[in-house]
């Protein structure tokens, strides 16, 4: 089996566009949650979200094509461009038929869907954009990335709610491990902060209603958590076999060594109370990696800031690691950026590699007093200088769909 390395990263997030800005904000414990500005939320019970600020698609997409991309696709194109540039993927240095693209999403072009529904309702069917379908469908971001860069390998999108992006990383990793491709551009993108979506999640009682203090609203593992905060953005990683990386003279940022996936088979939205599905995904990932549990010292948790989810994940971590669980550094990137749904796992993976290469562990902000049973080291409020030797990234989605990827310091 091939060894697989990360050679490039890209990120578009509520706390920074680009790896350097994102990394600085992670270390500083900066919150990107603020009052919603992209639509009038005054009639909503939830009026806060983690919006991407000052995003300009022009450096990544031609002026002509910008209006043909949904916001989620624009984010994916930007993050992919950054990762490709860092990895030094220049034409002629690789076989384009051996480069795959897996850009996943949970919801896809819902901005376009909402806008064009207004058009058909108010102006009739003849005014609907001919680009409605390609802008809306979930697989189009992967297609656009391939078109823009000439990558002709396997190209698809995984849709598994909030586990989508991490499933994409895992499936890309497996294709590389088994020699089906040499390079994979893999990640996730989401731009779901629209009126309809906020209303839908609010009606489920899934979202925080801490409208008066948005920067304090996302508080994973804290006793006063009251739901997650919607976020948006994208994370992309370039995964590459060791042979391809060495042939190109690329620099390894981290190694991917394991992947596990499972189903709760329990409930549409609630996790197994005993964390069974999460336990199985993490166990499978560790067994695939052939890494002793004691060598893992970090977990980028799913950590959404929901009452049931944070407890179930903690129970699962204790079951997987036993006594060693108390020695883990566990944090939630969502405490700063909110929940990016299908892109959450990929941005968590990008954050994990940034921390590995930067020699620090970012804080879980807003963790003032852990909730009952939440007694692990969640790195509360202040970043820590530390070396991550090996770490897990978790993502768990509605439908009980779970993913876990293991990274090791290069």
pLDDT in tens, 13-50: 999 999 999 999 999 999 999 999 999 999 999 999 99
pLDDT tens digits along 64-73: 899 999 999 9
The pLDDT assigned to 199 comes to 97
302 is catalytic: yes
Quick one: pLDDT at residue 353? Answer: 98
Return d(Cα 168, Cα 39) in angstroms, integer. Answer: 31
Mean pLDDT of 277-286: 98
Give the per-residue pLDDT at 325.
98
Considering 81, 111, 149, 162, which one is annotated as catalytic?
162
Confidence of residue 84 (pLDDT cuts 50, 70, 90): very high
Single out the catalytic residue among 167, 339, 362, 404: 339
Q: Once rounded to an integer, what is the mean pLDDT over residues 230-252? A: 98
DSSP per-residue string spanning 200-252: HHHHTT-B---TT-GGGT--TTBTT---B-BB-EEEEEEEEEHHHHHHHTPPP
Kindly name the residue from 157, 302, 362, 404 that is annotated as catalytic.
302
Containing 22, the helix (H) or strand (E) segment is helix 19-28
Work out the pLDDT band at 220, boundaries 50, 70, 90. Answer: very high
- What was the pLDDT predicted at 129? 95
d(CA 193, CA 14): 12
Q: Mean per-residue pLDDT for 255-266?
A: 97
For residues 223 and 369, the answer to whether their CB atoms sit within 8 Å is: yes
pLDDT band at residue 377 under the 50/70/90 scheme: very high
Q: HSE on the CB side for 119, CA within 13 Å?
A: 13
The DSSP line for 259-316 is EEEEE--S-SSSPPTT-HHHHHHHHHHHHHHT--GGG--EEE----S-HHHHHHHHHH
Domains, the chain, ranges and CATH?
Answer: 4-248 (3.40.47.10), 258-398 (3.40.47.10)
Mean pLDDT of 347-354: 98
Tokens 């991550």 found at:
388
Q: Kindly indicate the confidence band of residue 286, based on its pLDDT and cuts at 50, 70 and 90.
A: very high
Three-class SS of residue 351? helix
69 is catalytic: no
To the query of whether residue 339 is one of the catalytic residues in this protein, the response is yes
At 202 the pLDDT is 97
Round the average pLDDT of the chain to a whole number and report it. 97
Q: Is 405 helix (H, G, I), strand (E, B) or coil?
A: strand
For 337, residues 6+ apart whose C-beta sits below 8 A from its C-beta are: 13, 14, 15, 32, 33, 50, 218, 231, 233, 347
Tens-digit pLDDT profile for residues 111-148: 999 999 999 999 999 999 999 999 999 999 999 999 99
């Amino acid at each position: 089996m091939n060894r697989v390395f990360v050679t490039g990263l890209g990120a578009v997030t509520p706390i920074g566009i680009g790896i350097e800005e994102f990394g600085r904000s992670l270390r500083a414990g900066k919150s990107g949650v603020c009052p919603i500005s992209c639509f009038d939320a005054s009639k909503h019970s939830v009026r806060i979200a983690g919006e991407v600020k000052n995003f300009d698609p022009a450096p990544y997409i031609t002026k002509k094509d910008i209006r043909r991309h949904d916001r989620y696709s624009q984010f994916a194109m930007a993050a992919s461009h950054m990762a490709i540039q860092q990895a030094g993927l220049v034409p002629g240095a690789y076989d384009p038929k051996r480069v795959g693209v897996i850009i996943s999403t949970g919801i896809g072009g819902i901005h376009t869907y909402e806008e064009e529904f207004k058009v058909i309702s108010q102006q009739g069917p003849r005014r609907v954009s001919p680009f409605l379908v390609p802008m809306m469908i979930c697989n189009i971001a992967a297609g656009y990335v391939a078109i823009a860069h000439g990558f002709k390998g396997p190209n698809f999108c995984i849709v598994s709610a909030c586990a989508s992006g991490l499933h994409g990383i895992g499936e890309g990793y497996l294709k590389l491990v088994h020699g089906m491709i040499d390079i994979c551009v893999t990640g996730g993108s989401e731009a779901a902060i629209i009126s309809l979506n906020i209303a839908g999640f609010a009606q489920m009682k899934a979202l925080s209603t801490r409208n008066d203090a948005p920067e304090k609203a996302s508080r994973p593992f804290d006793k006063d958590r009251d739901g997650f905060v919607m976020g948006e953005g994208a994370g992309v990683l370039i995964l590459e076999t060791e042979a391809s990386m060495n042939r190109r003279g690329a620099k390894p940022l981290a190694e991917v060594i394991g992947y596990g996936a499972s189903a709760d088979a329990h409930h549409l939205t609630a996790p197994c109370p005993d964390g069974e599905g999460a336990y199985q995904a993490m166990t499978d990932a560790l067994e695939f990696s052939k890494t002793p549990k004691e060598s893992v010292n970090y977990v980028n948790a799913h950590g959404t800031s929901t009452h049931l989810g944070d407890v179930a994940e903690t129970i699962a971590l204790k079951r997987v690691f036993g006594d060693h669980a108390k020695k883990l550094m566990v944090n939630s990137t969502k405490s700063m950026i909110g929940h990016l749904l299908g892109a959450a796992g990929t941005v968590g993976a990008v954050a994990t590699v940034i921390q590995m290469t930067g020699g620090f562990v970012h804080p879980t902000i807003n963790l003032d007093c852990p909730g009952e049973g939440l007694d692990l080291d969640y790195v509360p409020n202040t970043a820590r200088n530390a070396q991550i030797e090996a770490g897990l990234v978790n993502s768990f989605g509605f439908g009980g769909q779970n993913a876990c990827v293991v990274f090791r310091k290069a």
